[in-house]
Amino acid sequence: MDSESRQARIVEFARTRGRVEVAGLAEELDVATETIRRDLKVLASRRLLKRVHGGAIPLETAAFESGVEYRSQVDLAQKHRIVSGAAALLQGAETVYLDEGFSPRLIAERLADQELTVVTSSLLAAEALADSSTVTVLLLGGRMRGRTLATVDHWAVDMLSSLVIDVAYLGTNGISLDHGLTTPDPAVAAVKQTAVRVARRRILVAAHSKFGVTSFCRFANVGDFDTIVTGTELPAAEARRYEALGPTVLRQ
């Protein structure tokens, strides 16, 4: 197998499995571990994978975005810590926006006993609140994205534009000091950008693996957020670099 074919297989494995290990790939592809390390270095330079200790994880691009099933399995313990910290920042809000994605769905579960009006583009978040007797749910209309089970396009943007939200909980596919917050799909970026604009307070929930990552469409600057909630896996020194741009960074 030539290097190009092998690297394509490695990307496929990473996107299917969520993570690949050097030793496992070497055995599976019948090559030396040093060959795999060189492959991962090449793929990281092409921004298809991100190197992590012992292996790599897939980066989301304009050509690839992970689905809900994948997101529900990656960094799961960290995400539960993050959303617990994020939900505690409600601070008397009466109206809340919940973004698409798995972490906002987890936040929805923690808000189910609050007296709130929740606006969301996420069918997953709406479902988590369906049995609540205290939460009024406004689900944005529009085209449903099957990959994330969320609504987009001008119907969603128009409806959201007409509202004023106390606090918005948003996720991101990538956050970097140079390029801000990014996502692969322009339609998703438009909804997120609108939520940033209409919310009085903006809270980002993002696992440490999202930091230093840049995707296709920018929807906000780091300084647009009041608070970033992430995991203790993000080094404190790195958190301070983001705090220098404006938001408080909470490591849970």
Please, what CATH class does the domain formed by 68-251 belong to?
alpha beta
pLDDT, tens digit (0-9, with 9 covering 90-100), for 61-78? 655 666 666 555 567 789
Burial class (CB in 10 A: 0-12, 13-18, 19+), 32: exposed
Confidence of residue 6 (pLDDT cuts 50, 70, 90): very high
Q: What is the pLDDT of residues 133-179, one digit of tens each?
A: 999 999 999 999 988 899 999 999 999 999 999 999 999 999 999 99
pTM value is 0.81
Distance CA 96, CA 120 (A): 8
User: Taking residues 111-140, what's their average pLDDT?
Assistant: 97
14 vs 10: CA distance, rounded Å = 6
Residue 30 has pLDDT above 70, yes or no: yes
pLDDT at 14: 87
Domain positions in the chain are: 3-58, 68-251
Confidence of residue 35 (pLDDT cuts 50, 70, 90): very high
Does the pLDDT of residue 96 top 70, yes or no? yes
Better-predicted residue by pLDDT, 12 or 199: 199
Whole-number mean pLDDT of the chain?
Answer: 92
Q: Could you tell me which CATH class the domain 3-58 is placed in?
A: mainly alpha
Q: What is the per-residue pLDDT for 194?
A: 98
Helix runs in the chain, H state only: 3-17, 22-29, 33-45, 68-71, 76-87, 102-111, 123-128, 154-161, 186-198, 236-243
Round to whole Å and give the CA distance between 224 and 213: 18
pLDDT band, very low/low/confident/very high, at 131 (cuts 50, 70, 90): very high
| CA atoms of 232 and 222, how far apart (whole Å) | 19
Q: What tens digit of pLDDT does each residue of 218-250 get?
A: 999 999 999 999 999 999 999 999 999 999 999
